[in-house]
Amino acid sequence: RMTATVQNPFQHLVEALDPSDQTRQFFNLSKLGDPRYDHLPFSIRILLESAVRNCDEFLVKRSDVESIMNWKQTQTQTVEVPFRPARVILQDFTGVPAVVDFAAMRDAVTKLGADPEKINPVCPADLVIDHSIQFVFGPQSYSSHLTFITCRSDAVFLSNTHLKCYRLAVVPDCATSLQKNQDLEFDRNKERFQFLKWGSKAFKNMRIIPPGSGIVHQVNLEYLARVVFDHDGFFYPDSLVGTDSHTTMINGLGVLGWGVGGIEAEAVMLGQPISMVLPEVVGYKLSGTPDKFITSTDIVLTVTKHLRQVGVVGKFVEFFGPGVAQLSIADRATIANMCPEYGATAAFFPVDDVSVQYLEQTGREPEKLTYITKYLKAVGMFRDYNNVSQDPDFTQVVELDLSSVVPCCSGPKRPQDRIAVSSMKSDFETCLGAKVGFKGFQVAPDLHTATVPFQFNGQQYSLSHGSVVIAAITSCTNTSNPSVMLGAGLLAKKAIECGLSVKPYIKTSLSPGSGVVTYYLKESGVMDYLSQLGFEVVGYGCMTCIGNSGPLPEPVVEAITQGDLVAAGVLSGNRNFEGRVHPNTRANYLASPPLVIAYAIAGTMRIDFENEPIATNAEGRQIFLRDIWPTREEIQAVERTFVIPSMFKEVYEKIEKVNERWNSLVAPSDKLYTWDPQSTYIKSPPFFDGLTMELQPPKSINDAYVLLNLGDSVTTDHISPAGNIARNSSAARYLTSRGLTPRDYNSYGSRRGNDAVMARGTFANIRLFNKFLNKQAPQTLHLPTGETLDVFDAAERYQQSGVPLLVLAGKEYGSGSSRDWAAKGPFLLGIKAVIAESYERIHRSNLVGMGVIPLEYLPGQTADSLGLTGRERYTIPIPEQLTPRMVVDVKLDTGKTFQVRMRFDTDVELTYFHNGGILNYMIRQMSEN
């Protein structure tokens, strides 16, 4: 405990504590001479502080503290430790099912005769409604060169009053259409938002940030982050877990956090620690100075490829070295945001003077800055990146000279596949003819120059392979960063001044991470130029990057289909997996916001910007990209002038009150939710049906069929329902049976609170490659009959016969965004286990949380090496006495037997499995107490 006026905060802090106080023990470790502490990575020091503060010899034991303190020895010994983060953050796509689960848990606790109000978040939880925005209509031709837009879902809340708060000019013609669409969409989504508002009233310790406020990660960075918690004068580091992979963005501000599954997050909200294997920490040393034309996006894409090559899956990455001091917090946050793309658990930048300056810039109160600085210095968690004596010991050190970074993009199907802009044209043409894969489309050589003419708004155009049809400045990755956003604005200004434009059929959009972005783009004078190029603000939220790009103009779709063209999307996001951005863009590239605009102007990815003009203006003058590209010095000058604290204060002081539509919603105040059996949005899930207090011994898996036989890098996008609901899908047939028409289907994201829809959308991705069919399709083979069926329909038939199911997969199963429905959906399909070569960390944890067994081939073995076709029937005896990572037999009906490892990595995970899942465990715990 300390006050802002204390001269020697550490001295008073220690003296104020009871000698037996665990926090005093931590400060004794951190400041009074234990040499082990001074050599710990800063990220590990946060784990240590949490363990000491929460040590109760039950959930957190003294031996856990010692394990973390002895990290240098224990990091390679697969030592399990608990971690209790200070808070939880959710976005709406994962937040809705979390609130649904909490409501259902209250019902289950009531049935067991206990008090339902025991089900409340113990750990503070913030839910930001941001992922539901969908961009529907692209730019149209107006004499004023202004853009016509309408938005879906959350954008219905962006009333003119709300828009004016952020000084966003609404074009009168557009405003009328926008208002009509808002009214329609408000009614369609009203129930879902009423349910969330009920949750904000019914549950204590849960705050909901209304729609239209911004992307969860940027709101977290600019507004929600505490850096240091002040609990009645008691201080401890801010830390968190979130239900989105890119929760790691907050590490750029020195707040340790990472993404977990929604199921795991719910357990943390209920007071359970995360059980984790003590991670190795890779030290990433930055040195040198980036070239004046380099953006933070170029740096992060370079880091992403580098760390993928190094191999950091399941590890922490901690940045150090003099190069870090040159990076703004927004730059650091961009690098930390892409952490899931290079596979690490967290990518940590310890707090330094630049961090405190950012807190000041974003409008935090002076007294907070004082105690944050004093506290972190007192406990040895404040960093000077130029002081090598502070460099801790790391498991491994890798280095990057920032002066070696060149302008780049990533694609066409994975974020780690970086390409220098100078090589983009040749790389795309190589991909065009290469074998189908992450870098290939296998287009016949004689079709590489194919061109398809079409008409749009009365004008003649043509598309070819590599034509850009989507150009989106979107996602948390870059829209939080003033340098690249202002860079895009300055490039737009120069482009307009040179007489350049974007073809009107290209679907352009700008979805900022918060209202602050619109504020400084407007104040700096660049917003009008962005608008003239078609990059009008279409809403505040995660949009094109998660597949909410909406439909393309019909003539464009027809041309792409007619020519079987590899059309392209270019976006400033962090994910470009196949089928994610849009079903008609087979090639998708991640790029900085200025490059998004550049490729939109060029209209194609098949351009060499160094040697070819980006366009020719009306006067016949060839304009090159170098003619309009702003330097870092130009950008920084504008940023210093226009990105100021008053902007952040004005926006965030109103954030929870300004949305009039949200404020006007009427929600019930009952502690138990009254489920509407007619609802197609909110439904009580069957996860707790028949739950009793008694545990049942684990059941062996007998004569299971394989539902799907999959390959490498199957992402949660392939597994979890996402995007629009196709009219020929199982989910569509279900909704039609409930009286809905296709226009009312909405998206899977909007229906994440309805398990009947979500189960039918599991494995419904059109890009799912199933070895049974040897093609991409959301279908599988029903082995008993040989019929090809939608995956849900096949699973339903198996379940009707009482047959258990398995999935076979290759490497990196479940990579990509953390999606709880990627585990809930398979559970509802009757899948009892997955056998894979390796797993993405969050998805494996989610499978455990739902009671689905993650099994892993032994080293050197694969489905192919074992001769598995997937047509066999599998029996897996599960012994009653289980131990972490134990090996079990798999017996086939062919007589063959092989062994796999059960990926229950900790005793706690085994406890969850024995209970049938983590939420079942929590219900029993809450009902006993």
pLDDT tens for residues 369-408?
999 999 999 999 999 999 999 999 999 999 999 999 999 9
Structure tokens at 388: 């090598």
User: In this structure, are residues 706 and 783 in contact, taking their beta carbons and an 8 Å threshold?
Assistant: yes
- 417 pLDDT higher than 80: yes
* Model confidence at 163: pLDDT above 70: no
CA dihedral 49, 50, 55, 61 (to 10 degrees): -90
Residue 182 has pLDDT above 70, yes or no: no
Confidence at 644, pLDDT banded by 50, 70, 90: confident
pLDDT at residue 54 greater than cutoff 60 = yes
Please give the single-letter amino acid code of residue 323: G
Question: Is the per-residue pLDDT at 711 higher than 70?
Answer: yes
What are the Cα distances from residue 235, in Å, to 23, 146, 488, 712?
Answer: 10, 51, 40, 45
Closest CA to 835 of 812, 810, 814: 810
User: 672: how many CB neighbours lie within 10 A of its CB?
Assistant: 13
pLDDT of residue 783: 97
Distance separating alpha carbons of residues 466 and 606, to the nearest angstrom: 6
What is the pLDDT averaged over residues 553-575?
91
Residue with tokens 């784990």, as numbered in its chain: 47
Do β-strands 779-782 and 701-709 pair in parallel, antiparallel, or remain unpaired? unpaired
pLDDT, residue 178, reads: 39
Give the C-alpha separation, 675 to 673, whole Å: 6
336: amino acid identity, one letter? A
- What pLDDT band is residue 30 in, cutting at 50, 70 and 90? low
Rg (CA), the chain: 27
pLDDT mean over 408-422: 89
Per-residue pLDDT at 105: 96
CA 666 – CA 733 distance, rounded (Å): 32
Q: What pLDDT, on the 0 to 100 scale, is given for residue 19?
A: 43
Mean pLDDT, residues 566-592 taken together: 85
Which of 171-180, 356-365, 783-792 has the lowest average pLDDT? 171-180
The beta-carbon contacts of 141-148 under 8 Å, at least 24 apart in sequence, are: 141/457, 141/504, 142/173, 144/171, 145/531, 145/532, 146/171, 146/173, 146/174, 146/531, 146/532, 146/536, 147/171, 147/174, 147/508, 147/531, 147/534, 147/535, 147/536, 148/173, 148/174, 148/177
pLDDT at 77: 83
Quote the pLDDT of residue 543: 63
Backbone angles phi, psi at 46, to 5 degrees: -70, -40
For residue 816, what pLDDT is reported? 74
Q: Please work out, in degrees rounded to the nearest 5, the angle formed at the alpha carbon of residue 213 by the alpha carbons of 209 and 217.
A: 80
Contact assessment for residue 607 and residue 466, using Cβ atoms and an 8 Å cutoff? no
Asked which of 28-32, 412-416, 550-554, 635-639 is least confident by mean pLDDT, the reply is 28-32
pLDDT band at 548 (very low <50, low <70, confident <90, very high): low
Phi, psi of 891 (to 5 degrees): -110, 130
Q: How far apart are CA 747 and CA 549, in angstroms?
A: 12
What's the CA gap between 112 and 530, in Å, rounded?
A: 58
What is the DSSP secondary-structure string of 249-288? GGGGGT-EEEE--HHHHHHHHTTPPEEEEPPPEEEEEEES
Q: What is the pLDDT of residue 25?
A: 56
Rounded distance between C-alpha atoms, residue 180 and residue 157, angstroms? 12
pLDDT of residue 159: 30
Which DSSP state fits 27?
Answer: H
- What percent of the chain is modeled with pLDDT above 70? 88
Query: Which is higher by pLDDT, 662 or 412?
Result: 412
What 3-state class would DSSP assign to 292?
A: coil
pLDDT for the residue numbered 85: 97
Q: What is the pLDDT of residue 26?
A: 56
What whole-number distance in Å separates Cα of residue 95 and Cα of residue 92? 4
Q: How far is CA 659 from CA 207, 537, 654, 703, 709, in A?
A: 15, 17, 9, 55, 47
More confident residue, 476 or 99: 99
DSSP at 246: G
Mean pLDDT over all residues of the chain? Answer: 86
For residue 586, give the nearest of 552, 543, 609 by alpha carbon: 552
Q: Where are the alpha helices (DSSP H) in 544-695?
A: 554-563, 593-602, 625-628, 632-642, 645-652, 660-664
pLDDT class for 147, splitting at 50, 70, 90?
A: very low
Q: Tokens representing 159?
A: 């009333």
User: Does residue 363 contact residue 224 with C-beta atoms inside 8 Å?
Assistant: no
Q: Report percent pLDDT > 90 for the chain.
A: 62
| Ramachandran area for residue 146 (φ above 0: left; ψ -120 to 50: alpha; else beta) | beta
Task: Return the H-helix or E-strand segment holding 531.
Answer: helix 527-532
- Helices then strands (H, E): number in the chain? 35, 36
Q: How many CA atoms, within 13 angstroms, populate the side-chain half-sphere of residue 236? A: 22
537 by DSSP, 3-state: which?
strand
Distances (CA, A) of 247 to 194, 665, 748: 26, 29, 22
Question: What pLDDT, on a 0 to 100 scale, did the predictor assign at position 781?
Answer: 97
More confident residue, 23 or 174: 23
How much is the average pLDDT of 618-623?
Answer: 93
What are the CA-CA distances from residue 495 to residues 155, 531, 616 (Å)? 29, 12, 11
Query: Does position 794 have pLDDT exceeding 70, yes or no?
Result: yes
pLDDT, tens digit (0-9, with 9 covering 90-100), for 195-205: 999 998 999 99
- Residue 210: how many CB atoms within 10 A of its CB? 24
Which CA distances in Å does 64 have to 77, 120, 274, 832? 13, 27, 13, 32
Q: What is the mean pLDDT of residues 26-36?
A: 60
3-state SS string for 219-237: HHHHHHCCCEEEECCEEEE
DSSP secondary structure code for residue 349 in this structure: -
Task: Give the separation between CA 902 and CA 887, rounded to whole angstroms.
Answer: 6
Alpha helices in 318-399 (DSSP H): 329-337, 339-342, 353-361, 366-378
Spatial separation of the C-alpha atoms in residues 22 and 506, rounded to whole Å = 60
The owner of tokens 């070295």 is 321
Give the Cα separation of 153 and 190 in Å (integer): 9
SS3 813: strand
Q: How far apart are CA 208 and CA 199, in angstroms?
A: 9
Q: Please, is 895 exposed, middle or buried when counting C-beta atoms within 10 Å of its C-beta (0-12, 13-18, 19+)? A: exposed
Looking at residue 254, its pLDDT comes to 98
**How does DSSP classify residue 834?**
E
| Residue 137 pLDDT exceeds 50 | no
CA neighbor of 518 nearest in space, from 164, 168, 752: 168
Those residues with Cβ within 8 angstroms of residue 54's Cβ, 6 or more apart along the chain or in another chain: 22, 60, 82, 84, 273
DSSP, residue by residue, 163-208 = HHHTT----HHHHHHHHHHHHHHHHHHHHHHHHHHHHHHHSTTEEE
d(CA 184, CA 136): 14
Res. 185 pLDDT band, cuts 50 70 90: low
Q: Quick: pLDDT tens for 276-317.
A: 889 999 999 999 999 888 888 899 889 989 999 999 988 999
Alpha carbon of 428 to those of 225, 421, 586, 745: distances in Å? 41, 11, 12, 36
**CA neighbours closer than 13 Å in the CB half-sphere of residue 210:** 22
What pLDDT does 33 receive? 53
Q: Out of 158-167, 367-376, 777-786, 829-838, which region has the weakest mean confidence (pLDDT)?
A: 158-167
Q: How far, in whole angstroms, is CA 306 from its chain's centroid?
A: 21
At 230-239, the pLDDT tens digits run 987 789 999 9
pLDDT, residue 325, reads 95
Q: Is 6 a residue whose pLDDT tops 80?
A: no
Residue 819 pLDDT class (50, 70, 90 cuts) = confident
Judge contact between 99 and 63, C-beta under 8 A.
no
Give the 3-state secondary structure of residue 161. Answer: helix
Helix (H, G, I), strand (E, B) or coil at 803: coil
pLDDT of residue 244: 83
Report the pLDDT averaged over residues 340-359: 94
pTM of the model: 0.78
